[in-house]
Amino acid sequence: MSYSGTVRCGNCYTSGHNRNGCPELKAAWEKDPESWQGKQWQRIIDRKAKPKICGYCDESGHTRAQCQIKKTHMGIYQMDLNLWRQAIAKWTQEVGLGVGALVRANNSPYSSTDHRWVYPNSENYVAPVGMVMSQMTGKITHYYGIMNATHWLESTNVATMDRLGSDAGTDHYKRVVGLGLPSIPGIVTRMGKGYWGGEQIDRDERVDGTQWEIVSPAPAPFDVMHFTDSQTIRALTKAHFSAKDGDAHTGRFYQFTDAQRAQLQDYVAGRMELSKMIDPQVPTDDT
Digits of tens for pLDDT over the chain (287 positions)? Answer: 444 557 888 888 888 899 888 999 899 989 998 999 889 888 888 887 777 789 899 998 888 889 999 999 999 999 999 999 999 999 999 999 999 999 999 988 888 777 788 888 888 889 999 999 888 877 899 999 999 898 999 989 999 999 988 776 667 777 889 899 999 999 999 999 866 667 889 999 989 889 999 999 999 889 888 899 999 999 999 999 988 877 889 989 999 999 999 999 999 999 999 999 999 988 876 55
Tell me, yes or no, whether 84 lies in a domain.
Answer: yes
For residues 115 and 247, state if they share a domain. yes
Domain count of the fold of the chain: 2
For residues 93 and 212, state if they share a domain. yes
Tell me, yes or no, whether 284 lies in a domain.
Answer: no
Tell me, yes or no, whether 56 lies in a domain.
Answer: no
Q: Which of 161, 267, 275 is nearest to 213 (CA)?
A: 161
Tell me, yes or no, whether 175 lies in a domain.
Answer: yes
Q: How far apart are CA 218 and CA 103, in angstroms?
A: 10
Report the Cα 205 to chain-centroid distance in Å: 21
- In this prediction the pTM is 0.80
- pLDDT score at 2: 43
For residues 39 and 167, state if they share a domain. no
Per the CB < 8 A criterion, the answer to whether 222 and 91 are in contact is no
For residues 12 and 103, state if they share a domain. no
> Which domain covers residue 21, as residue numbers?
1-50
Tell me, yes or no, whether 88 lies in a domain.
Answer: yes
For residues 6 and 100, state if they share a domain. no
DSSP 51-83: PPB-TTT--BSS-GGG-HHHHHHHHHHHHHHHH
Q: How far apart are CA 91 and CA 274, in angstroms?
A: 8
- pLDDT score at 168: 63
For residues 107 and 148, state if they share a domain. yes
For residues 7 and 130, state if they share a domain. no
For residues 167 and 46, state if they share a domain. no
- pLDDT score at 1: 44
For residues 244 and 133, state if they share a domain. yes
Tell me, yes or no, whether 206 lies in a domain.
Answer: yes
For residues 141 and 259, state if they share a domain. yes
Helix (H) or strand (E) holding 268: helix 258-268
Tell me, yes or no, whether 172 lies in a domain.
Answer: yes
User: Using CB atoms within 10 A of its CB, is residue 282 exposed (0-12), middle (13-18) or buried (19+)?
Assistant: middle
User: Using CB atoms within 10 A of its CB, is residue 152 exposed (0-12), middle (13-18) or buried (19+)?
Assistant: buried
For residues 22 and 146, state if they share a domain. no
